[in-house]
Each structure stands twice: as structure tokens, then as C-alpha cells.
């Protein structure tokens, strides 16, 4: 006999717990960039910063914790400079690739 599981009994999924190294962060951010949603990119960088420690990323990027939370919340529209500084603090960088490969 199979036992049914209620959705309320399932644990909450936290993407930050899956981001254990720079390679994981780079893969996650790349996946989000490929979707083309700028607001989701801000959120993904916030998740990655949470995985590393918001205080550590704030210090490494030169941006206050409060400003990071505000800039990287869902539906935020951070400046490119903020995105660049957060990426550098996370140990990743944004890279452009040709859309059509030969």
C-alpha cells in the first residue's frame, strides 16, 4: 500500500544550500542569464550571496549589507556596476558568447 505525502510535509527547498563552490554558483547564474530575466538574475545573485554569506559578499564588494539585500531582492533592478561587484565577490564573472556558433 502506498502512502500519500502532503505537500505541506515536504521540506522547503533552499537553492542557497546547493551552491557549495564557485562552479556551482557560475552554473546557476549562467542558467538564469540564459533565461533572459534581469529580475531573476538579481534574485539569483542574492541566493548566491546568501550561500556565501551576505556579510562576506558585502565586505568583498564594498556594498553595505542593507544595500545588497535591497539590490538583490526579487524583482530588483540593480545597476550593472552592482552586478559586476557582486559577481567579483562571488568569484565568478559574466561572459558573452556568440549566439550562433560555427
What's the pLDDT tens digit per position in 46-85?
A: 999 999 999 999 999 999 999 999 999 888 889 999 999 9
* CB-based contact 92:49 (threshold 8 Å): no
> What are the domain boundaries of the chain?
21-90
Left, alpha or beta for 91 (phi > 0: left; psi -120 to 50: alpha)? left
Cα dihedral across residues 95, 96, 99, 100: positive or negative: negative
Q: Give residue 96's pLDDT.
A: 83
Amino acid at each position: 500500500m502506498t502512502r500519500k505525502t502532503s505537500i505541506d510535509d515536504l521540506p522547503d527547498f533552499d537553492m542557497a544550500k546547493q551552491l557549495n563552490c564557485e562552479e556551482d554558483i557560475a552554473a546557476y547564474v549562467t542558467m538564469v542569464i540564459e533565461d533572459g530575466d534581469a529580475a531573476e538574475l538579481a534574485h539569483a545573485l542574492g541566493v548566491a550571496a546568501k550561500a556565501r554569506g551576505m556579510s562576506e559578499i558585502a565586505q568583498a564588494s564594498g556594498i553595505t549589507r542593507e544595500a545588497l539585500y535591497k539590490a538583490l531582492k526579487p524583482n530588483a533592478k540593480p545597476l550593472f556596476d552592482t552586478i559586476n561587484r557582486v559577481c567579483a565577490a562571488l568569484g565568478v564573472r559574466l561572459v558573452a558568447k556568440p549566439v550562433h556558433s560555427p
